[in-house]
């Protein structure tokens, strides 16, 4: 959960995001070529994605399923009837000189997702961001600029068509965002959702999730939007926030100086931490859309829609609310536990096996998380099962072992050793008749410390407790040890 911020009070930013999300199918949207990332250039290609004469596209059924599930998770209305269109533009990485996309009849419209922030006083803020549309389309290829040129920075370009035909959904938000922070949180929540669904890995470094920002500013109280500028080339959520914050200040400064804001596409320069002009923005008429003649319209039956709806998992926001309201966890713990679906499922299995929710949350978000980060592992790669974690927590709460013993044995437990084996012979001594003679022995062996304690140095109680724990190899029940030591010292 992040803290909300605002721009200068006399101006208001109007922000919307266009997010391209690569779908995690094994093959491309209209052909059987692989979608594997990192292959040698121009090896994952075929006549269909290259647009060779005489070939016809065929829609990948899994693409439609993933698009509909994403639309449902974003609370969209799913179109019973939609179609594909040709978006015409000419660029070296677009082999057909048009892109198959959806224009006036997208697969999903009129949805929303909820973002969570906190205000300056630490109070939670939940804000609903509208989703205008979600539509399917194919990706273009990739240009690699190389060589050295004094003016342009490169002397030649290479083209890799491996990405051509990769399935995408484009998700367009309503202009409901008002700051870079809100936009970054929106993009993060969107990534959580598609990852929970399993429809995309959301990997920004590999281009699986790419966000373009539309931003304008206007005086507070004015209904009309200002001139919109689009920002591209952002590969992280922090870059989204910084680019928007920069652009807000740039546009405000231009307005106050009497300059005109032009509708254009700008690039985010990470090194210089600023935006720079790329090109004047095209309008939809420049693309000359018309219905794709080689693909039949799409009809989603009620039975198919309900089948896909029934397969949706509980989503991150639902889990956060459940963890806070029903399990009594803090907003922070709920946020950490639901960041990744596998961690949330691990947590839920642990509490279903009898673990106290707060104790399980502490172990997962602290000790286990530290191990995962250090070893660069996922929670599915550790040997400590959620059932065994519940066993450990129960042993601590019933006084069979101490929290310190559990933490000491954690490396063994994480490697897969069972609690029975890890804690064999380490059960806490909870019988006063066994522990009392040991306390007497420790006190008798330390007369000088006893005298100092009885002369007013009561901090030495900890010394005697420590000696008892040492003598019992930390098997003495800490609570009972404290009680017995205090009773014996004050005789």
Angle between helices 478-489 and 432-444 (to 10 degrees): 50
Instruction: Give the domain ranges of the chain.
Output: 2-304, 314-422, 432-489
**Predicted pLDDT of residue 228:** 93
Tens digits of residue pLDDT in 423-448: 988 888 888 888 889 999 999 999 89
Whole-number Å distance between alpha carbons of 363 and 395: 14
Q: Which long-range contacts (CB under 8 A, 24 or more apart) does 466-470 make?
A: 467/442, 468/435, 468/438, 468/439, 468/442
Tens digits of residue pLDDT in 287-326: 899 999 999 999 999 999 999 999 999 999 999 999 999 9
pLDDT-derived band at 3 (thresholds 50, 70, 90) equals low
Tens digits of residue pLDDT in 19-56: 999 999 999 999 999 999 999 999 999 999 999 999 99
Cβ neighbour number for residue 318 with a 10 Å cutoff: 13
**Predicted pLDDT of residue 281:** 61
Whole-number Å distance between alpha carbons of 259 and 238: 29
Cβ neighbour number for residue 20 with a 10 Å cutoff: 17
**What residues have CB less than 8 Å from 315, skipping those under 6 apart?**
73, 193, 196
Whole-number Å distance between alpha carbons of 339 and 344: 8
Whole-number Å distance between alpha carbons of 219 and 196: 39
Mean pLDDT of all residues in 345-353: 98
Tens digits of residue pLDDT in 444-463: 999 898 888 888 898 988 99
29 contacts 63 by C-beta, under 8 angstroms? yes
| CATH of span 432-489 | 1.10.10.410
324 contacts 334 by C-beta, under 8 angstroms? yes
């Amino acid at each position: 959960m992040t803290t909300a911020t605002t721009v200068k009070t006399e101006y208001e930013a109007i922000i919307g995001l266009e997010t391209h999300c690569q779908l995690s199918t094994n093959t491309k949207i209209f052909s059987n070529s692989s979608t594997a990332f990192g292959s040698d250039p121009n090896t994952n290609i075929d006549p269909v994605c290259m647009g060779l004469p005489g070939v016809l596209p065929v829609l990948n059924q899994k693409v439609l399923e993933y698009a509909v599930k994403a639309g449902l998770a974003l609370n969209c209305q799913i179109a019973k009837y939609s179609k594909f269109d040709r978006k015409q533009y000419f660029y070296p990485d677009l082999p057909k000189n048009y892109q198959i996309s959806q224009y006036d009849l997208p697969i999903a419209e009129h949805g929303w997702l909820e973002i969570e922030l906190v205000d300056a006083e630490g109070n939670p803020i939940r804000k609903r961001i509208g989703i205008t549309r979600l539509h399917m389309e194919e990706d273009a290829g990739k240009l690699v600029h190389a060589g050295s040129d004094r003016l342009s920075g490169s002397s030649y370009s290479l083209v890799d068509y491996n990405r051509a035909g990769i399935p995408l959904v484009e998700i367009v938000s309503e202009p409901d965002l008002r700051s870079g922070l809100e936009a970054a949180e929106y993009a993060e929540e969107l990534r959580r959702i598609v990852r929970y669904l399993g429809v995309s890995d959301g990997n920004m470094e590999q281009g699986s999730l790419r966000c373009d920002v539309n931003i304008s500013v206007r005086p507070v109280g004015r209904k009309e939007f200002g001139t919109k500028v689009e920002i591209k080339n952002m590969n992280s959520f922090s870059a989204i926030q910084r680019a928007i914050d920069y652009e807000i200040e740039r546009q405000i400064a231009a307005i106050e100086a009497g300059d005109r804001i032009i509708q254009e596409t700008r690039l985010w320069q990470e090194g210089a931490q600023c935006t720079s002009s790329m090109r004047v923005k095209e309008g939809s008429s420049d693309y000359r859309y018309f219905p794709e003649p080689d693909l039949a319209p799409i009809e989603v039956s009620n039975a198919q829609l309900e089948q896909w709806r029934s397969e949706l998992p509980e989503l991150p926001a639902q889990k956060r609310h459940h963890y806070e309201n029903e399990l009594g966890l803090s907003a922070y713990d709920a946020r950490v536990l639901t960041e990744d679906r596998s961690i949330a499922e691990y947590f839920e299995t642990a509490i279903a096996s009898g673990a106290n929710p707060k104790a399980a949350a502490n172990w997962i978000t602290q000790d286990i998380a530290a191990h995962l980060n250090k070893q660069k592992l996922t929670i599915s790669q550790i040997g400590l099962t959620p059932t065994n974690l519940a066993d450990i927590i129960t042993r601590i709460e019933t006084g069979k072992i101490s929290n310190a013993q559990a933490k000491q044995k954690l490396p063994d437990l994480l490697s897969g050793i069972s609690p029975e084996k890890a804690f064999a012979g380490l059960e806490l001594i909870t019988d006063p008749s066994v522990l009392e003679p040991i306390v007497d022995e420790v006190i008798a062996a330390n007369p000088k410390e006893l005298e100092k304690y009885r002369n007013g140095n009561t901090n030495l109680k900890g010394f005697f407790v420590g000696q008892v724990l040492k003598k019992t190899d930390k098997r003495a029940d800490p609570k009972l040890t404290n009680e017995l030591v205090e009773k014996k010292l004050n005789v």
